[in-house]
Amino acid sequence: MIGHGFMGVAHSQAWRVAPRFFDLPARPVMSVLVGRDAGSASAAAQRLGWESSSDDWREVVARPDIDLVDICSPGDSHAEIAIAALRAGKHVLCEKPLANTVAEAEAMSEAASVAASRGVYAMVGFSYRRVPAITFARDLIRAGRIGTLRRVQAAYLQDWLVDENGPMTWRLDKDRAGSGSLGDIGAHAVDAVQFITGQTFEQVSGALETFVRERPLLAEGIGLGGTPSTERGVVTVDDAAYFTARLSGGAVATVEATRFATGRKNAFRLEFSGSRGAVSFDLERMNELEFYDGDDPAGEQGFRRILVTEPEHPYAGAWWPTGHGLGYEHAFSHQVRDLLVDIAAGRQPEPSFADGLQVQRVLDAVETSAANGSGWTRA
């Protein structure tokens, strides 16, 4: 695994826990953790349960005893590492968004399709696809339970940037992160909507805004918990992204992504309205799904709350008894499970790098539309 920040920790937990709850076709060996600083990588490896550590990803991806490379580093390193790993015959799991630019994502997708023809697979880590209630929403909608889809409302709302004295993390630097709220959390919204509905974003019309244009630079550390210095740096990404969209199956959508939604900690909200019913989800209540069935008797109609913790719900049966619920980390374990099952079956895991590229094109179209003030832009 490359990287041991927030995502490295989440993925480490998944690699360790998945084999305890799922019957996997292969036993993951957490072999090497790679970080830029040898000392921090070694300390993180011990804490997170990796056998060894390294500060040289090139040497690690070339090693014959490595079968799979999990990329949890910032976006500016994804393309180079993923392409090198795939060319060296290693399966790849790469964090979202796939890349910082469409050109990088195209190169990655091309490398993945060459590798797949040799039985080497790549997956992009849109982990929320594997939250049971989101997977179940997809099952309901794909089974036609809400009829013809007409309206989608997606909002990914966080507030961890509200404090204007919060430091300049790598996520606020376009060169490292590609974009701001748009790529960090808007990408989840784009992927989840396409996954759930089976429709792709065809045209978008968007606006971006940066509310806080300068922040204290970090003297030490890379994240919000780092030590700020007295110098200030320029924020080069969006703080908020908004767009309307036309989907391939005729539905229309509004999407909002911001890390300035005061009071909203991780509210990823998705609502789908169809000719026969509707489905609504909020990640802050991630074990629940609201379902409105227009076929219910007139006097009994209303959204019903389904607790998505039954053995018949996706993934839930592998964990705790009915009603005990799952959390943020479980989706990453489901991701590990599905990845290993697909690799063992010689099947392309989803979302593929081609899916990641398609999301990247949507993000790019939003940026183009926002920059030009040009209205509808083809994704």
The residues binding ligand SOE (CB under 6 A) are 6, 158, 184-185
CB of 257 to ligand SOE, least distance (A): 9
CB of 158 to ligand SOE, least distance (A): 5
Structure token digits, residue 33: 């953790």
CB of 149 to ligand SOE, least distance (A): 25
CB of 19 to ligand SOE, least distance (A): 23
CB of 260 to ligand SOE, least distance (A): 12
Given a contact cutoff of 8 angstroms between Cβ atoms, the answer to whether 93 and 10 are in contact is no
**Residue position matching structure tokens 């490292």:** 176
Structure token digits, residue 140: 């309901």
- How far is residue 252 from each of residues 149, 204, 239, 248, 357, measured CA to CA in Å? 9, 10, 24, 9, 22
Measured from the CB atom, the residue of 189 and 204 that comes closer to ligand SOE is 189
Given a contact cutoff of 8 angstroms between Cβ atoms, the answer to whether 193 and 103 are in contact is no
Measured from the CB atom, the residue of 18 and 161 that comes closer to ligand SOE is 161
Measured from the CB atom, the residue of 104 and 239 that comes closer to ligand SOE is 239
Q: Helix %, strand %, coil % for the chain, to 5?
A: 40, 25, 35
Measured from the CB atom, the residue of 73 and 205 that comes closer to ligand SOE is 73
* Rounded Cα distance, 170 and 174, in Å: 8
Q: Is the four-CA dihedral 80, 83, 89, 92 of positive or negative sign?
A: positive
- How far is residue 118 from each of residues 121, 318, 348, measured CA to CA in Å? 9, 32, 11
Given a contact cutoff of 8 angstroms between Cβ atoms, the answer to whether 162 and 262 are in contact is yes
Measured from the CB atom, the residue of 104 and 184 that comes closer to ligand SOE is 184
Question: 7: left (phi > 0), else alpha (psi -120 to 50), else beta?
Answer: alpha
CB of 23 to ligand SOE, least distance (A): 27
Measured from the CB atom, the residue of 286 and 289 that comes closer to ligand SOE is 286
Measured from the CB atom, the residue of 158 and 360 that comes closer to ligand SOE is 158
CB of 253 to ligand SOE, least distance (A): 20
DSSP-assigned letters across all residues of 131-194: SHHHHHHHHHHHTTTT-SEEEEEEEEE--TT-STTS---GGG-HHHHSSSHIIIIIHHHHHHHH
Alpha carbons within 13 angstroms on the beta-carbon side of residue 130 total: 21
| Exposure class string for 198-212: b at 16+ Cβ within 10 A, else e | ebbbbbbbbebebee
CB of 189 to ligand SOE, least distance (A): 11
CB of 340 to ligand SOE, least distance (A): 21
Measured from the CB atom, the residue of 50 and 156 that comes closer to ligand SOE is 156
CB of 137 to ligand SOE, least distance (A): 17
Measured from the CB atom, the residue of 53 and 73 that comes closer to ligand SOE is 73
Measured from the CB atom, the residue of 131 and 365 that comes closer to ligand SOE is 131
Report the residue number whose CB is nearest to ligand SOE. 184
DSSP-assigned letters across all residues of 280-308: EEEGGGTTEEEEEETTS-GGG-S-EEEE-
* Rounded Cα distance, 64 and 331, in Å: 30
